[in-house]
Amino acid sequence: MQIYNTMTRKKEEFIPLEAGKLKLYACGPTVYNYFHIGNARAFIFFDVVRRYFEHLGYDVTYVQNITDIDDKIIAQSIEEKIEFHTIADKYSNAFLEDCARLGVKKPHHQPRATEVMPAIIAYIDELVKQGYAYESGGDVYFSAESLPEYGSLSGKKIEDQMAGARVEENTLKRHSADFTLWKKSKPGEPIWQSPWGEGRPGWHTECVVMSQQYLGETFDIHGGGIDLVFPHHENELAQALALRHKPLANYWMHNGFLNVEGVKMSKSLNNFFTARDILDQFSAEAIRFFFLSKHYRSPIDFNREIIEESEKAVSNFYSSIKQLLLSQSKSYSDLKAALAIDPELDKIKLEFDRSMQDDFNTAKAVASLFDLNRIVRSDAQDPAFRLKAAALLVNLGEVLGFFGKLEETLKDKTPDLSRQLIELIISLRAKVREEKNWALSDSIRDQLAALGVEIKDGKEGCTWSIKG
RNA sequence: GGCGACAUAGCCAAGUGGUAAGGCAGAGGUCUGCAAAAUCUCCAUCCCCGGUUCAAAUCCGGGUGUCGCCUCCA
């Protein structure tokens, strides 16, 4: 398994800390708003990472934080004139709902910052005691200069940051590269008691505390969007290095951005679409396909036409499987049971694995799905072989998070009476066809189509399906 | 100013030294009363210039263009 490690800027062979186990942490949202479709890319991608390791037989522990105290939440609570924790609850619930709609498997743990406040305070206190952080005017800052390794993840040097003219002047800081661990609260803001007075945590400590609490002082993979490399992950790492003298994670993975017309989608640029809006327009699997058809580290342009194409691709898979099962009078469980070893199909499976193990080349892995799809659709192939191919298609598709709705879709929800009526009409039409009354025959087909019943005349007779 | 990424057909997109995966769209053939499906075939020399090499989309140098990080952000 090759994984591109942001720390070393190259692909490395993945070696787990403990054989057969994966400890994975990926940054979740700060819950001050509905998340946008760009955020969804990260959630979907790390869902695929998790699924793939599970597919390989790993015992995976996946932890994702929910940051529910932060400046932006406070700002939003003022804007909506509601208490901050009500805002946090509202948007964390929305986050959970939207992820479920996106077909993202629930992480094993989703801790919230406010639940681990004593641990956060203790962590900061320890940093102060060991001389890596200092109190200043009721705030606490991490001293970047105190840690020689500071900047190793993002490749930034403290001196270079000085050159950036946009670093905000903060006279409480000893050095402009220092970052806030604890903020003294202003009147009306939520407060926690601390050794430095009333205040609230800065942005980064909660992730260190929560990840280490569930995964240990060092874990396998830490992930998130590319923008988190600096400052968020750099600052998490700094705290862990300072206190534990060990890397926080062995592999750092970052997904690229979603752009809109070439420019990144972000809440601050206000050029975003919420995932919930997009989910109302496209299926979750089409959205997933859209993301997975490009390598995760590359930027991807939000494009409705391409998502529509993705919609076609996904429904093509579904209809291939559906048609095959229909023609063989097989059920969903027959399909699942048909997964078997087959030399020819194993080649495709091997290719799929090869793609995935090359730093999650999902775009290439998807091509393997199409290889299988071609077999499933092909009349020229042996029926048993086609069924096996379909079983593998579903099996590998599920690794990428597809086919979650397959079982449901296959259930024939047509009421008995409707079914009998449709079949009656078709049998009457068959008589008309025997008489070669094509005009009437076609008219019946058109009228049924108008009602959403699609019929196809094959050599073996006529098949029908309900559209939509 | 510092650091980094990307540039492949009409569109999306793999490919990191051996002569361009896959998808969508398109063209043509077979099949079919027609439609659909199926099936077969066709459709790029990889931003520009120079270099290394028997051999480069793939390595090196120089351009051009687009984007990102350095400030909240997946």
Q: What is the pLDDT of residues A74-114, one digit of tens each?
A: 999 988 889 999 999 999 999 999 999 999 999 999 999 99
Q: What is the pLDDT of residues A27-56, one digit of tens each?
A: 999 999 999 999 999 999 999 999 999 999
Q: Is residue A290 part of a domain?
A: no
Do residues A91 and A167 both lie within one domain?
yes
Residue nearest to nucleotide B69 (CA to C1'): A227
Q: Is residue A199 part of a domain?
A: yes
Tell me the average pLDDT of chain A.
Answer: 91
pLDDT at A293 over 90: yes
What CATH number should be reported for the domain holding residue A309?
Answer: 1.20.120.640
Do residues A133 and A250 both lie within one domain?
yes
Q: Indicate the pLDDT class of residue A468, thresholds 50, 70 and 90.
A: low
A403-to-A285, A314, A337 alpha-carbon distances in Å = 8, 9, 16
Q: Is residue A375 part of a domain?
A: yes
Partnered with residue A109 across adjacent β-strands are A63
Name residues 297-316 of chain A with a Cβ under 7 Å from nucleic strand B. 298-301, 303, 305-306, 309, 312-313, 316
A303 CA – B32 C1', rounded, Å: 38
Q: Is residue A293 part of a domain?
A: no
Q: What is the pLDDT of residues A322-379, one digit of tens each?
A: 889 988 889 999 999 999 999 999 999 999 999 999 999 999 999 999 999 999 998 8
Do residues A131 and A201 both lie within one domain?
yes
Q: Indicate the pLDDT class of residue A160, thresholds 50, 70 and 90.
A: low
pLDDT at A465 over 50: yes
pLDDT at A163 over 60: no
Closest nucleotide (C1' vs CA) to A458 is: B37
Burial of A201 (0-12, 13-18, 19+ CB in 10 A): buried
What CATH number should be reported for the domain holding residue A110?
Answer: 3.40.50.620
A95 CA – B49 C1', rounded, Å: 51
Do residues A394 and A427 both lie within one domain?
no
A318 CA – B45 C1', rounded, Å: 37
A379 CA – B57 C1', rounded, Å: 37
A457 CA – B37 C1', rounded, Å: 9
Do residues A193 and A252 both lie within one domain?
yes
Q: What is the pLDDT of residues A176-200, one digit of tens each?
A: 889 999 999 988 889 999 999 999 9
Residue A19 neighbours by CB under 8 Å, 6+ apart: none
Distance CA A179, CA A230 (A): 12
Q: Is residue A288 part of a domain?
A: no
Q: Which nucleotides of B are covered by protein (CB under 7 A)?
A: 1-6, 11-15, 21-25, 32-39, 66-74
Last residue of a domain, one of A391, A410, A429: A410
CA neighbours within 13 Å on the CB side: how many for A108?
A: 16
Distance CA A378, CA A397 (A): 19
Do residues A28 and A118 both lie within one domain?
yes
Do residues A398 and A425 both lie within one domain?
no
Q: Indicate the pLDDT class of residue A165, thresholds 50, 70 and 90.
A: very low
A271 CA – B64 C1', rounded, Å: 29
Last residue of a domain, one of A410, A431, A458: A410
Q: Is residue A56 part of a domain?
A: yes
Q: Is residue A6 part of a domain?
A: yes
Q: Is residue A295 part of a domain?
A: no
Q: What is the pLDDT of residue A170?
A: 66
Q: What is the pLDDT of residues A396-455, one digit of tens each?
A: 999 999 999 999 988 877 788 988 899 899 999 999 998 889 899 999 998 988 888 888
Name residues 197-236 of chain A with a Cβ under 7 Å from nucleic strand B. 203, 224-232
A226 CA – B40 C1', rounded, Å: 46
A366 CA – B43 C1', rounded, Å: 22
Q: What is the pLDDT of residues A230-254, one digit of tens each?
A: 999 999 999 999 999 999 999 999 9
Domain that holds residue A277: 2-281
Do residues A85 and A141 both lie within one domain?
yes
Complex confidence, ipTM:
0.94
pLDDT at A164 over 60: no
The total number of structural domains that make up chain A: 3
Do residues A163 and A114 both lie within one domain?
yes
Structure tokens at A12: 């490395």
Do residues A77 and A125 both lie within one domain?
yes
**A173 in contact with nucleic chain B (CB within 7 A):** no
Do residues A440 and A362 both lie within one domain?
no
Last residue of a domain, one of A410, A433, A451: A410
Do residues A374 and A246 both lie within one domain?
no
Pairing of strands A199-201, A219-225: unpaired
